Amino acid sequence: GHEKGAFTGATQARPGLVESAHGGTLFLDEVGDIPLAQQVKLLRLLETGTYRRVGSTELRHADIRVVSATHRHLAQMVAEGRFREDLYYRLGTFPIHLPPLRERREDIAPLAQALLERVAPGRKLQLAAGAMALLQTQSFPGNVRELRNLLERAALLCDGHTIGVEQMHEALTCGLAPVVAAAPGEMGTAMDDTTLARLLAEHQGSRATLAQRLGMSERSLYRRLRLLKGTDAARA
């Protein structure tokens, strides 16, 4: 949070996330990405429950429970001097290791149904048995984020209330290329031109919206569309 006049544009005082979480839980995602200079502030908050707003000398108190998450190996970062050892042990009161999705395939079905409700609210979409079986064969290197993206594509390709094998297969083939094989900035190149043209029409020609839905940059989508136009001209 900050006080009025703390910096240019601070026309009024505003509470921050810590202050807003008073009496509840504060979730810190990707805590391993916090710079060393900021880690000491987090450590002080955890040890004393105190903090200061930007532009203020007043010490405030917050009664919060802190839950953090990271994909990084914090113990290794401590050894390399990139993460404070005292903060590491302060955060590690009750560590929970979540295995990658490929090692807990029994979670795919309930996760898929819950994610469908998020990516297509109100549509009450269901997965056909064959589509679910196809999901179970995937390795999901991107874990839940990749599963969500896949289901969102499948939902876009589904006109009814049940996502079948055909829609799921198409969603898989028009997704992101594996990280190890993809050139920087070139995503979604496996999508066939017919599918791309149809999806663009369904989005009323909005490249920005379609690029976001497909998980690719607008620039990459533009290049694909130029190639598509050139192919059509050659055929004519």
pLDDT digits (tens, 9 = 90+) for 108-131: 999 999 999 999 999 999 999 999
Same domain for 23 and 80, yes or no, is yes
Burial class (CB in 10 A: 0-12, 13-18, 19+), 34: middle
CATH code for position 114: 1.10.8.60
Tally the domains of the chain.
3
| Residue 6 domain flag | no
Give me the amino acid identity at 196.
L
pLDDT digits (tens, 9 = 90+) for 69-118: 998 999 999 999 999 999 999 999 999 998 999 999 999 999 999 999 99
Residue 185 confidence class, pLDDT cut points 50, 70, 90:
very low
| Residue 30 domain flag | yes
Q: Residue 218's pLDDT is what?
A: 76
Same domain for 124 and 153, yes or no, is yes
Same domain for 187 and 150, yes or no, is no
Same domain for 131 and 191, yes or no, is no
Instruction: Say which residues have a Cβ less than 8 Å from residue 75's Cβ, sequence separation at least 6.
Output: 88
Same domain for 115 and 86, yes or no, is no
CB 55 within 8 A of CB 2: yes
Q: Which residue range is the domain that position 222 belongs to? A: 179-236
CB atoms within 10 A of CB 6: 15
Q: Residue 133's pLDDT is what?
A: 92
- Ranking 119-133, 143-157, 189-203, 212-226 by mean pLDDT, the lowest is 189-203
Q: Residue 187's pLDDT is what?
A: 38
Give me the amino acid identity at 46.
L
Kindly state the average pLDDT of the residues 34-48.
93
Indicate if the pLDDT at residue 195 is higher than 90.
no
| Residue 146 domain flag | yes
Nearest to 176 by CA among 189, 163, 164: 189
